[in-house]
Amino acid sequence: MQKTFGQQLNRLMADHFVGRTFEMGVFREFLERMEERPERILNVFGTAGMGKTYLLDRFAAITREFDRVPIRIHMGEAMNDPRFITQMIVQCIGD
């Protein structure tokens, strides 16, 4: 079966995702032990260009493997509107 361009691109990106073994392992463990933990929010921050968005894309893919819904909120966008977070959660759950 021939893969779509998007599938091929995702595979290529996954094959070249290096240097984050520790973070990926910690995140998988976080999801595996979700029922035992009260935490539900993961805060990722850092200097521009270090790969945060790419890491979050990988985290979202892993989250879907666990049949959970990843919700990504850029807090800079939510600072002036307290309803923004709720709206984003509802939007993501509805997808």
Residue 31 has pLDDT above 60, yes or no: yes
Q: Would you state the pLDDT for residue 60?
A: 92
Angle (CA) 93 91 36, round 5°: 35
Residue 43 token pair: 């805060």
* pLDDT band at residue 14 using 50, 70 and 90 as cut-offs: low
Region of residue 4 (left: phi > 0; alpha: psi -120 to 50; beta: else): beta
Whole-prediction pTM value? 0.68
Q: Give the chain's largest Cα–Cα span.
A: 48
Q: How many alpha carbons lie under 13 Å from residue 93 in its C-beta half-sphere?
A: 6
pLDDT of 72-90, one tens digit each? 888 777 778 878 888 888 8
